[in-house]
Structure formats: C-alpha cells, structure tokens
Amino acid sequence: MTITPPIYRAGHCDVAVIGAGHAGIEAALASARLGLDTVCFTVNLDSVGNMPCNPAIGGTGKGHLVRELDALGGEMAKAADRACIQYRMLNLGKGPAVHSLRAQADRRRYQEIMKQTLERQEHLRVKQAEITDIGVEDGRVVSCTTATGAQWSCSALVVATGTYLDGRTVIGECIRSSGPDGLAAAVPLAERLRELGLPLRRFKTGTPPRILARTVDFSAMEPQYGDTEPEPFSFTTETVPENRAICWLTYTNEDTHEVIRRNLDRSPIYSGVIEGVGPRYCPSIETKVMTFPDKRRHQLFLEPMGLNTDELYLQGFSSSMPEEVQIEMLHTISGLEHAEMTRPAYAIEYDCIDPTALYPSLETKQIAGLYGAGQFNGSSGYEEAAVQGFVAGVNAARSVLGEPPFVLRRTDGYIGTLIDDLVTKGTEEPYRMMTSRSEYRLLHRQDNADERLCAIGRSIGLVTEERLRQVEEKYQTVAQELSRLEHTSLGPSDALDELLRTKGTAEVKNGCSLADLLRRPELGCDDLAALDPGRPELPKAVREQVALRLKYDGYIRRQLRQVEEVRRLEGKPLPADLDYNTIQGLRLEAREKLNRIRPENFGRASRISGVSPADIAVLMIWMERFHAGN
C-alpha cells in the first residue's frame, strides 16, 4: 500500500538536477560553477558517478568527447586521470583523426572522486531523494517534489535519469522493476513526464557478467598491456599516468554458440519479453551469434573493476539469458572453464525522450526551463551523457540569468555533432558517438580540442583566463616552429642522403626546406634532429601539432572550406513561426519534418532526415521572395 505524504516547502534553488550519474554530475557542476544555487538529487548517494556497465572512460570517438569536455571546463577528464589504472591509445595504426584514448577506471575510486567533488563545490547541494513530480505553470517549470513530500521551487530543471526512468531489468524469466545494480527505478517520475505530454519511448541496454579473478585461468588468455608512454585525458594533468592493471583477451567458440542456440527460446530478446530498442553497435552475445552465424568466435576482454577488488568485467558478453544459461556459456570459454560469476549479466529497459522534441540547447520545446541530458535524450555511454549534462547545465544556468543559449555547432567538434544528430535527425536506437559520425574529423581531433574549445569555455565562464593564456601560448609556439621549418633549408649532403635512403624516401638534389621534408610520411621531427642544429627544445604536444599540420595541411584546408560553406548556410536564419505547409513545392514529408523540428537556420534544415536538397532550394527561393516582399 502506497501512502502519498503531505507536501512541504523544502526550499528554493535556481537549478535542480535529477540524477547524479555522468550527465547529472556535469550539469550540476556547470550550473554551480556559474554561480547558480543548484541542488542535485539522486536516488542513492552511494551511486554518484556509478559505472553500472564497463569500468572505463573513453574509446573510439568517446575519447574525443572527453577531451572536448575538458577543454570547455568539464570534470570527467580530471576525475578519470585520478582514477584510471590502464591507458591505451586506440587506432594508432590509422590516421590521427581517429586516434582515441581509452582507460580502465577503478570504479569505486572514480565514484569517490566525483562524490567528493560535488560535495565540495560551492553553490551546490547534493540530496538523496527520488523526484516523483515536476511542477509546471504557464508552460514553464516551477518546482520538483520528492517521494517524501519535499517540494523545491526552481527556475530550471535538468532531467538526467539515465536508465532509472521506469527501469526494468531482465535476466531470463526474472523480470523486475529496477534501475542498474538493483537500485530503485524512477516509476512515478516517468508517469509524470508522460502526463506533461513529453514524447517518451522505450530503449534498452545490457551489461555483461562479472567474474571472480581467482577462478580464472589467465594462462589460457592473451594479456593486453597499457601503453608504454601513457597520455592523460585532461590537458591540465601534469603527471604522467601510471598503468597499474592488465586486461586479458579470450574468445567464444562453437560450444558457446551451441549453448546459445539451444536456449534461444529462453532468450527475452527473441521471445518478445524485451520491448525496448537496443544499441546496434553494442549487441548482446546471443544477438552476435544469431546475426553472424558463420563467425566462429567473438572477442571477449576481461577488464579489472578496480585495484581493491577481484571482480572482472567480461567486455563483449552482455546478455539477458537466464542465469544458469549464462554460467553454462561461461564455462565453455578458454580460461573461464571454472569461473565463478559474481554478478549475472542483465538487460535493462528504460524510458527516454524523442530528442527531436529538444532544442539544440537541450531545452524541451514543450516546457520552458526543462532540460534533458544523457540517456534520457536517447544516447548511450558515459561520455555522451557527460557532455550533454555539461551543455544542459550551462544552458539551465544561462536561462535563469537571462542570457542567450550556449549552442555548439557540429562544425565546432564532436559534442556539437552528437547534439545536432540527436535533436535534428533523432535516433531509433541508443545513440553512440563514433568518429565516422563527424564530417570534419581531421579538424576535430582529440589532440587539438584545447585549441578549438578553450576560448568558448572561457566565454561561458568555465575556463580561467590563465588557462586560456596557456593554450594561446602553446599554439603560438606551434605557429613559430612551423614558420621556422618553412624558412630553414637543407642543402644536399651525404648525411641527408643517407637518412633519406634509410627511411625509404627519395633523395633531394637541390635542397629543400625542413617543412617539405617533414611533409613526407616516412619522416618525423626527431628524424631530422641531427641535421637541424637550430631546433628548439619543445614540449611533446607542440612537436606533435607541428608534425600533424605539416603532413595533413592540404586535407585540413579542404575541410576548412567545407566548414565555411556549412557556416554560410547556418548564417541564413529561418523564421521561428514559419508554417511550412504554406510553402508551395515542399514535399509532404519535408513539410511534416520541418514543422515538427522547426530548425532555426538553413544549415540545420539541410540535415533533417527526409528534407532533400530540392526542398532546401525551394526554401531558399521562398525566403528570397519573402524578403523581397518585405
């Protein structure tokens, strides 16, 4: 029997944040650091910064998000550098555009760091409470109320509920109303959001089992070591990270696949028990086996959960099979024949919003002052959540201060691409950032995020003047070194010829500049050190920037021209109250999409799924006539 407690006035805050996961943390910190009185609510204070799935930060595309967030003044990169125990730079065999940092984190250490960061932040209060109601008056958020009846008046509110919103976990036939790690689901809040008319949908994600390390035969697996020279996530981390853990690689086999096929009728995914749409790029092991029947094995990584625990995370083995089936599957795998499962894998379904119902500021179109972030917006992943939380928190604060929204464009970087994809194109599955989603990935490398975004972070008030000065000096040094290399020539010599022959590149006959030599893919800055007596002592980060700019100059210039064209389109505004049904020549699908999404400029309109180049041409002609008639 549920008894509704009486409501009492608990207090006022400028900005309320629901959730203290990766999105909620960044939202609350950004708002408080901008001087707004902020309250962050979480169902359990021990779950602040929780990593219910893989204990890692970064990865392909995701590492870019972490670096960009750091450049803007966010917290995730700094916390990761204090808590991570193994660093690996991914995709080093490919071009610099897709190099991505990933690091294993000590899960509990990361939580401790983030919880303490919130607790010590000025203008921020953290409360253990479940929000069950959101008050709205005249189309604007005015309050939020806890399950115990505490009503907080607020001027803006960020929903960062992760997978808790009407969460339901599934392990075979065991189906429970629950958030991750057995914590309570946010059911009343989901009902209230539906009452408010927000377009909710059902997504799902999954997590693999955890294994007890002392029951694993590591001799049957391949060790995966960290980098010999690890790089930190944060541009401001001065100490070199230390690799203190080893990961291990093993594989499924035909016996594993046979267990899955034999028990497919008990799989909630295939029996219809699971209704939510799952992530295409992170499928369950049963989905992998059924989708790729000719693939004889699938990679599995054993990753440590931390330095003070013997639990291992089995990356690549997410499942919703019954517990006893999971154990049978595990015991077919090399090295796991006697493994003890400490926590079974499970699928989790949850409610989220159709992100096309959001402005690029992440404010809902239906309710002023109500913002969404993270998995509530249809994304997946800690990093995707964190950057959205930052943007939502900044904009919630700016709305209270009466300042214009802070909007990152897709031409600014991966954060802008992620948000633009969500609010413009929408998503039919949990959205995951990948380098392939960016048209300008050579410009938006992880290594130059400070150059691209620190000035923006300073303009919104979350990067110090001193930090911006350091970044400006760094890139002034890069420019000076580039100029020196362009104006320093080497004449033909035996030493130069010998170096070029050794490196497998053509000899020079009339001499050439150091810059031209370094544009050759076979040569690096250090290769020419003996022939360059005027070479200054430069930090590693500066040398890397110099080499990248020389080798990729032509490609970078081409992408810069593409960016300018996109910005030209984004500089052409569209009226906010335009009725697209009145424009002759637009296709029906284009009219429906344009009326629903209401793009603020031609650039965004051109990226809406279902709006063709012909529709954009019709719009441009109409706008020219409209302005001519006015």
pLDDT confidence band for 510 (50 / 70 / 90): confident
Mean pLDDT, residues 221-238 taken together: 97
Between residues 255 and 609, the one the model is more confident about: 255
3-class DSSP string for 560-579: HHHHHHHHHHHCCECCCCCC
Instruction: Say what the pTM is.
Output: 0.95
pLDDT at 282: 81
For the ranges 279-283, 487-491, 549-553, which has the lowest average pLDDT?
Answer: 279-283
Give residue 565's pLDDT: 87
Query: Sorting pLDDT into bands at 50, 70 and 90, what band is 624?
Result: confident
**Residue 525 pLDDT greater than 90, yes or no:** no
> Which run of H or of E encompasses 608?
none
Averaged pLDDT, 307-335? 97
Q: What pLDDT does residue 628 have?
A: 60
The model's confidence at residue 315, banded by pLDDT at 50, 70 and 90, is: very high
pLDDT recorded at residue 260: 96
Q: Which is it for the CA torsion 474, 476, 477, 481, positive or negative?
A: positive
Q: What long-range pairs does 578-584 form, CB within 8 A, spacing at least 24? A: 583/618, 583/619, 583/622, 584/618
Higher pLDDT, 620 or 135: 135
The residues, ordered by sequence, that sit 6+ positions from 158 with a Cβ below 8 Å of its Cβ are 15, 16, 17, 18, 23, 24, 27, 28, 31, 371, 372, 373, 389, 392, 393, 396
Torsion on CA atoms 70, 72, 75, 77, rounded to nearest 10: -10
First to last CA, the chain: 64
Tens of pLDDT, residue by residue over 416-435, are 999 999 999 999 999 999 99
Asked if residue 196 lies in contact with residue 364, where contact means CB atoms within 8 angstroms, the answer is no
In this prediction, residues 553-574 reach a mean pLDDT of 91
As a three-state string, the secondary structure of 513-577 is EHHHHHCCCCCCHHHHHHHCCCCCCCCHHHHHHHHHHHHCHHHHHHHHHHHHHHHHHHCCECCCC
pLDDT tens-digit readout, 534-543: 899 999 999 9
- pLDDT tens digit sequence for 68-91: 999 999 999 999 999 999 999 999
Mean pLDDT value across residues 323-351? 97
Interval 153-168: pLDDT, tens: 999 999 999 999 999 9
Write out pLDDT tens, residues 579-620: 999 998 899 999 999 999 999 999 999 999 889 989 999 999
pLDDT of residue 1: 54
Residue 193 has pLDDT above 80, yes or no: yes
Q: What is the radius of gyration, based on Cα positions, of the chain? A: 26
Burial of 610 (0-12, 13-18, 19+ CB in 10 A): middle
Question: Looking at residue 2, what is its pLDDT?
Answer: 66
Is pLDDT at 436 greater than 90 in this prediction?
yes
Give the pLDDT score at 275. 79
CA distance 351 to 358: 16
Cα–Cα distance for residue pair 312/292, rounded to 1 Å: 27
Q: What is the pLDDT of residue 278?
A: 81
Check whether 629 has a pLDDT greater than 70.
Answer: no
Domains along the chain with CATH numbers: 8-161+354-459 (3.50.50.60), 210-347 (2.40.30.260), 470-559 (1.10.10.1800), 571-628 (1.10.150.570)
* pLDDT for 379 beyond 90: yes
Quote the mean pLDDT of the chain.
Answer: 94
